[in-house]
Amino acid sequence: MQAMDRVHVVPEARKRAGAVASYSRAWLLDPVSFHEDFDDLYAEIDTAEGLARMRWQATQTWRSQDDTSQHYVDMLRTASADEWEVAFDEVHLADWYRVLMAHHLLDSPAVTMPRALKERLPAVGFTPTEARRLAYGRELKSLVECFGSVGVVAQIAPLLTIGCRGWLSQDDIKLSLHHLRGLDPRRFRDAQDLVPLVEQVHAMLSGAAQHPDHVLLLLCD
């Protein structure tokens, strides 16, 4: 009861209104800690009590007033807490998987114009695939497959495919930093407007590299 008393209900209309502007954000996620906590919840998902417990925790997070949690949840494309409470749908498990990450996030610098980054990085030596990955990250399906338990992978990974981006592993971060540091400065003579974006990418990746036990989450609206 005390935990429920701490929940501040945020009107759904206001929460959605906060996600109108176009921008991107990044966070550092401890994937091991998160998946351990999620696995504990998922282990009882076949019971009414276990399902209610996961829904309740996701709803608390959705309506949280914590700045990091609120900024993160506002950018997710999921059903709302009100919709979760009407009736259960299997797709809600993917929603809750994403929402419950909020308790394991650290703020990180981000890239302000990911689309421009995706379109312009090939001009200075990145492949189109590398540019897109740096801008939007990998699909979350691969995050579940890397860190989730067998049951979570089987049920939730198929729900996190197209449009459910994005994340970068520490290997992605190291490889991209190596590539950035090896860029020929002469390539920027005719692409001066790209310099600030590349500097943003470098700051984002350098910060993430200082947390080797974390992965980088990327969200664009």
pLDDT score, position 13? 38
Per-residue confidence band for 220, with pLDDT thresholds at 50, 70 and 90: confident
pLDDT digits (tens, 9 = 90+) for 208-218: 999 999 999 99
Contact 26, 205 (CB under 8 A): no
Round to whole Å and give the CA distance between 131 and 107: 23
Round to whole Å and give the CA distance between 167 and 143: 7
Round to whole Å and give the CA distance between 208 and 210: 5
Q: Is the dihedral angle over the CA atoms 66, 206, 141, 149 positive or is it negative?
A: negative
pTM (2 d.p.): 0.84
Q: Which residue has the higher pLDDT, 113 or 1?
A: 113
Q: Measuring CA to CA, which residue among 72, 134, 74, 132 is closest to residue 106?
A: 72
Q: Which of 15-19, 40-44, 171-175 has the lowest mean pLDDT?
A: 15-19
Buried b (16+ CB within 10 A) or exposed e, 166-204: bbbbeebbeebbebbeeeeeeeeeeeeebeebbebbeeb
The residue type of 167 is W
165 DSSP assignment: E
Contact 202, 4 (CB under 8 A): no
Q: For the chain, how far is it from start to end, CA to CA, in angstroms?
A: 36
pLDDT above 50 for 9: no
Round to whole Å and give the CA distance between 145 and 155: 11
pLDDT digits (tens, 9 = 90+) for 176-188: 999 999 988 888 8
